[in-house]
Amino acid sequence: MTASPFRILFSTGAWAVLAFLVLPILVVIPVSFTDTSFIGLPRDHFSLRHYETFFSSPEWLASAWTSIWIGAVVALAATALGTAFAIGCWFLSDRAALVARWVLITPILVPPVVQSLGFYRFWVQLDLIDTSFGVILAHTLLGLPYVTISVFAALANFDRRIPQAARSLGASVWQTVWAVVLPAARPGMITGGIFAFIVSFDEIVGVLFLTMRNVETLPKKIWEGIQESIDPVIAVVATVLVAITLLLTAAFALKRS
């Protein structure tokens, strides 16, 4: 059976969009194996010297570890606070929940530079500049909207009469939330926590405003590598992150299949 012209057109367009999104990411892989001291494709042969530099550099490894543990703390804090907020709004009337939801997603709508300037002005008064706690607090506020949106979506089709039935059978408010509502919200909590971790791990503008020398995250280290010299180790970091993302995606897909 011959495919219709519209189907061929849409298939071609889909592959073109996919190539447009993926190819710029994959280009860093051969660049990471360059044998030169600057970013570019290998000239004479593939080299692992920049990988050796990354995995043997205390500065690069320390910045990567800082981003990981800060992201993990942010994910836990944002998930706990965002889930509590979403469940509280879910028990409220629809109008109050709508207003509260719009207020909380404001950080997504405000440009990052404006947010970072506000954080800087407020954090100076709280003496949180160049501290890990200051970065965690700022990133938690940025990650909260993603958690609440995910939990709201998970609870969208949850029957409100089920918690009422649990209460009528003698369960307390905490027992109802823990045994009835939280299991329904768990998929949204997991999704929101992952997004909060990604937002924290990838955030750079706020880190540049709020830190100086004591806190060195991986995006900040990459930024400094671009500013001071075009270091090929940056391509190594990008390749490692792409590989980890692909492995986690494949593992998740295999687990669901």
Quick: pLDDT tens for 202-236: 899 889 999 888 889 999 988 887 776 677 888 88
CA end-to-end span of the chain: 30
Residue type at 224 in one-letter notation: E
Residue type at 18 in one-letter notation: L
CB 67 within 8 A of CB 217: yes
How far is 82 from 169, CA to CA, in rounded Å?
28
User: How many Cα atoms are found within 13 Å in the side-chain-facing hemisphere of 30?
Assistant: 9
Q: Where are the domains of the chain?
A: 59-242
Instruction: Give percent of the chain with pLDDT exceeding 90.
Output: 21
Span 113-159, pLDDT tens digits: 888 888 888 898 888 898 999 999 999 999 999 999 899 888 888 88
Buried b (16+ CB within 10 A) or exposed e, 15-37: eeeeeeeeeeeeebeebbbbbee
How far is 84 from 79, CA to CA, in rounded Å?
8
Phi, psi dihedral angles at 2 (to 5 degrees): -80, 135
Query: In a 3-state reduction of DSSP, which class is residue 178?
Result: helix
Tokens encoding 248:
């986690």
Highest mean pLDDT among 5-19, 154-168, 201-215: 201-215
CATH architecture observed for domain 59-242: Orthogonal Bundle (1.10)
In sequence order, what are the residues at sequence separation of 6 or more whose Cβ sits closer than 8 angstroms to the Cβ of residue 6? none
pTM for the whole structure: 0.85
